[in-house]
Amino acid sequence: MKLDTSKTFTHADFELTSGVVLPELQLAYETWGTLNADASNAILMCHGYTNHPHAGGDEDGWAHNLLGPGKAIDTDKYFVVCSNMIGSAFGSSGPASINPETGKPYGPDFPDYTTMDMIRAQHLLIDNLGCGQLKAVIGYSYGGHLTFLWGATYPDRMRALVPIAGVIKRETTQVDTQRIRAQFEDCTGWNGGHYYGHEDEPGGVREKMIETRIGTLTRYGLGDYLKHNGETPDAIARIVRASAEKWAHQFDANSLYKLYEAGIGSQADASKIKAPLLDVLANSDSVVDVKLGPPTVELLKSHGVDAAFHEIDTPYGHTGPMLDAHKWADVLRAFLERTP
């Protein structure tokens, strides 16, 4: 579902890498700040796997600790754009979109697409918004991979790259996709993925989505963060469940495996990247191993890239770069200032 804070960009006859043409591409997005006279101060932000384009503006923004007036990503200086990925569930074209041939949601029949389609759609958006060469592309988690991909695909379109908790090569396989899809197959009303209108039945998709999200939030470190901030076990359970329920009413079960499938075999060509790059990983991350940072940076340096690695010391795992943003905000600010 599109967030109330989002706008929608549309583009006719968008051809996917599979060769299928979407009659109308929809891309949900949000912006902060003002584009300057020479259109040179825009920053594109790329969100994570199950996230949305609401990166800032209030405490619901997934990067609100970094993004805003006077913050590391200073919206008094920069015009910041964050779009929802193709195939996601926050207002962009994806499985929950209406298939014009049937008048019903595509569901599992949404056409095959890839990470290249994601960034091509973003490229159309920033062109439509009048952005020139980007000040930077900054992405978190899955968006961190898209950041590497942006640098390799459009090497002259930005002056800086900041992948956060992301990888230069995605290692996902069709087995991962099948595993994610399989967890819904016993849900009431699943109907091969055409579950729309039946999601709230007992034993249905919504219950499974809540259960899945609670596990993800726990694994990503939210419970530890709440505990360290003085919450009791009962309060932690309530807060995590409330967050999971909110997400489960917004997201699409088909998007969970379609987004994974889109990343199979996706790798950014390090030899094509030109812009200075800051690779940021957390030392407690169980999703992206911090040990991947130094060899990635050395690979980039071997191709002449001005690359640096920053390790965040945080107990909050994959969400540490956002929850403990104060530990590295000055590093990000300095990097952006030295790549004018």
Give yes or no: 279 in active site.
no
**Which two three-digit tokens encode residue 324?**
């403990």
Which candidate in 83, 141, 255, 284 is catalytic? 141
With beta carbons less than 8 A apart as the criterion, state whether 277 and 305 touch: yes
Q: Compute the distance between CA of residue 239 and CA of residue 247 in angstroms, rounded to an integer.
A: 12
Which candidate in 224, 252, 279, 285 is catalytic? 285
With beta carbons less than 8 A apart as the criterion, state whether 175 and 201 touch: no
Q: Side-chain half-sphere of 199: how many Cα atoms within 13 Å?
A: 18
Give yes or no: 271 in active site.
no
Contacts 24+ apart (CB under 8 A), 327-335: 328/280, 329/65, 329/66, 329/71, 329/72, 330/72, 331/278, 331/280, 332/66, 332/72, 332/73, 332/162, 332/278, 332/280, 333/72, 333/74, 335/160, 335/162, 335/276, 335/278, 335/308
CA triplet 219, 224, 226: central angle to 5 degrees? 120
Q: Compute the distance between CA of residue 73 and CA of residue 69 in angstroms, rounded to an integer.
A: 8
Give yes or no: 285 in active site.
yes
Residue 139: what are its φ and ψ, rounded to 5°?
A: -140, 150
The beta-strand segments (E) located in the chain are: 7-15, 21-32, 42-46, 67-68, 73-74, 79-83, 98-99, 104-105, 136-140, 161-164, 277-282, 307-312
Q: Looking at the annotation, which residues are catalytic?
A: 141, 285, 318
